[in-house]
Amino acid sequence: MTATAVERPLTPAARRILAVAGDLFYERGIHTVGVDLIAREAGVTKKTIYDRFGSKEALVVAYLRHRDQRWRAFMIDRLRRVDDRYARVLAVFDALEEWEAAWDRGCAMVNAYAELSDPAHPGRAVARDQKAWTVELFAQLLDDAGVRGAPMLADQLLVLHEGAVVATHVGGRDSAVTVARAAARALLAAAANPGTSA
């Protein structure tokens, strides 16, 4: 009963803290940003941070969750605009391209995984959940499009999705999302029209 705290709405100061911490964590990394800096930038004292979030670790988890929610909401919104169920599968890559253009430091979940080396850190579960959600999204979209009998395809699309982000930022390959979408289109076509190959 007491284990799961009630989701109370954030106080104004807490919202400011989360916004500032989100920007700083994403842009400069979790370890390099101290709570003193967050307090200063948010116009808040350290005590307020600890009163609202309890610890830096909890603040990091809140940051990752918030970021994950934004990403999911963005993706759902973009997919809703696409009528054709078949095209909607590939529209994930259009949305990714748009998202990528707005952020220059890659995937916050992947970056957090890299920084949080302790397997027990709760932030890792947030990152893992996002990837599970994404592969489930692909599976759902494929099912909606009537593409069945290709059990690996949703996982393949996840791999293309994650690889596109890494290739863009770490590899500096600007067209990686386009490249990934072309691969996705080919795999999707092969699964939708079986028998065209030996």
Kindly tell me which of 7 and 83 has the beta carbon lying closer to DNA: 7
Q: Contacting DNA (CB under 7 A), which of 11, 69, 175, 178? A: 11
Residues 38-67 that bind DNA (CB under 7 A): 43-48, 50-52, 55-57
Find the largest Cα–Cα distance for the chain.
67
Q: Name the residues that contact a copy of itself, by CB under 8 A.
A: 27-29, 31-32, 105-106, 109-115, 117, 127-128, 131-132, 135, 152, 155-156, 158-167, 169-173, 175-176, 179-180, 182-183, 186-187, 189-190, 193, 196-198
Kindly tell me which of 9 and 149 has the beta carbon lying closer to a copy of itself: 149
* Closest to 131 measured CA to CA, from 151, 144, 150, 112: 112
Choose one: 6-14, 115-123, 165-173, 183-191; the region binding DNA (CB under 7 A). Answer: 6-14
Q: Number of residues in contact with DNA, rule: CB under 7 A?
A: 24
Choose one: 34-42, 74-82, 106-114, 146-154; the region binding DNA (CB under 7 A). Answer: 34-42
CB of 66 to a copy of itself, least distance (A): 18
Contact at 8 Å (CB) between 134 and 158?
yes
Contact at 8 Å (CB) between 168 and 177?
yes
What tokens appear for 2 in the block?
């007491």
How many CA atoms lie within 13 Å of 58's alpha carbon, on the beta-carbon side? 10
* Closest to 125 measured CA to CA, from 57, 55, 65, 66: 65
DSSP annotation of 104: S
